[in-house]
Structure 1
């Protein structure tokens, strides 16, 4: 069993790959389930993208959705959370700090994540460099909030280690457009395996990158199972 916690549905403005690639990519790499956000919602219009994703998820038992939240449009975000989370097809929130111009340290993102915590679902938050430390501090300060540090800080993976040690409600997933040797292995050796997830950034990035990084860590037994699917199933309360 493999669950991808960081995937997307829909074309991007810098690539012509289409949403139909999702299931084919999952089949190629043996990914059983994926939690996806709408690329339209992330980069352009959150309510419209969330609505399109809701339609795409109907009748698809291998894909679950993130409700994309724009911290600068919280009234719309609250309406979408109230509408889509009860369907059972959406299991979390996606928040991209760069595309929305809302750094982790901004009051807008703090308010958005406080709202997410009130809905009781986890949030996947874009992190880069030291921002993963800011996310850990914010998570520790907001009771009940559970966050996934998308890209586990990217080039700041050592900051991600510190962040995960500082907040037991922060999770790490490895996808990144670069693949420096030993990056995930270093994190996996230093962090509780219960806090590690598998994410690929598909279909934006080929899953081979994340698969290679995780395989190189040499995880076995319960730790490998936790990263592959068990942690995700528990975090999102997926009834497999």
Structure 2
């Protein structure tokens, strides 16, 4: 079993020709991904409500797809409407996604805390973009919001050595390691320090080919217990899949 907790649907503004949901499904078929949690690119980089509603029309395309509702912390009234109208009572939506840079909302701001309080109110695990030391900021935010369940997308990228400290600061924080330029041995290094129960598989597809994330896990030489936890068990438990 393989669950991808960090994927996207829709056209990117980079020089690459991706967009149709068929691209997601082809990558899942090619790499043996059983479930993929997707957020809308339009929602992340341009218009969260429009992107969420566009993704709602795509999710029925395949039973292996699950939705991650994009939250723009600058537009929380609209986010609440999306949570009420799209997510409530619909088990195809399983989480939320917040990109701090495209929304121009640092993790340390009151608006970000309000966004996390909102997703927590609706019971949604929330994947938050982290880069650099912001992985520690997310840990502090997780500790401040009781009941929140947060996933550090990219687990700080080049600041991955901060993960053990982030894990120490908050026990309601998980880590997702996809990165376009991964350093060698980082997965093994982190597993040896925090164990396998806080790490989960993500690809950043369709921006990054899933082979990058899968190669990093292969290089880490996971034990059977670690592989089960990272490949699917942690995600299945956190997102109630």
- What is the TM-score when the length of structure 1 is the normalising length? 0.97
CA distance in 2: counterparts of 1:10 and 1:142, whole angstroms? 32
Determine the structure 2 residue equivalent to 1:27: 29
1:165 CA displacement: 2.2
Runs of 4+ in 1 over 4 A off after TM superposition: none
Matches within 5 A, 1:85-100: 85=87, 86-100=89-103
* Match of residue 214, structure 1, among 189, 212, 217: 217
Matching of residue 155 in structure 1 with residue 174 in structure 2: no
SS of aligned partner of 1:172: strand
The answer for unaligned runs of 5 or more in structure 1 is none
Equivalenced residue count is 238
Matches within 5 A, 1:2-21: 2-14=2-14, 15-19=16-20, 20-21=22-23
CA distance in 2: counterparts of 1:39 and 1:147, whole angstroms? 20
1:220 CA displacement: 1.4
CA distance in 2: counterparts of 1:107 and 1:164, whole angstroms? 22
- What is the TM-score when the length of structure 2 is the normalising length? 0.97
- Say if 1:3 and 1:228, in contact at 8 Å, map to a contact too: yes
CA distance in 2: counterparts of 1:109 and 1:170, whole angstroms? 16
Matching of residue 76 in structure 1 with residue 78 in structure 2: yes
CA distance in 2: counterparts of 1:176 and 1:55, whole angstroms? 29
CA distance in 1: counterparts of 2:17 and 2:226, whole angstroms? 37
Matching of residue 198 in structure 1 with residue 198 in structure 2: no
How large is the Cα RMSD of the aligned pairs? 0.9
1:59 CA displacement: 4.6
Matching of residue 108 in structure 1 with residue 88 in structure 2: no
Question: Higher mean Cα deviation, 180-189 or 5-14?
Answer: 180-189
Question: Higher mean Cα deviation, 191-200 or 126-135?
Answer: 191-200
- Say if 1:147 and 1:169, in contact at 8 Å, map to a contact too: yes
SS of aligned partner of 2:131: coil
CA distance in 1: counterparts of 2:36 and 2:61, whole angstroms? 14
Question: Higher mean Cα deviation, 58-67 or 203-212?
Answer: 58-67
CA distance in 2: counterparts of 1:8 and 1:182, whole angstroms? 26
Determine the structure 2 residue equivalent to 1:62: 64
- Say if 1:185 and 1:213, in contact at 8 Å, map to a contact too: no
The answer for unaligned runs of 5 or more in structure 2 is none
- Say if 1:91 and 1:236, in contact at 8 Å, map to a contact too: yes
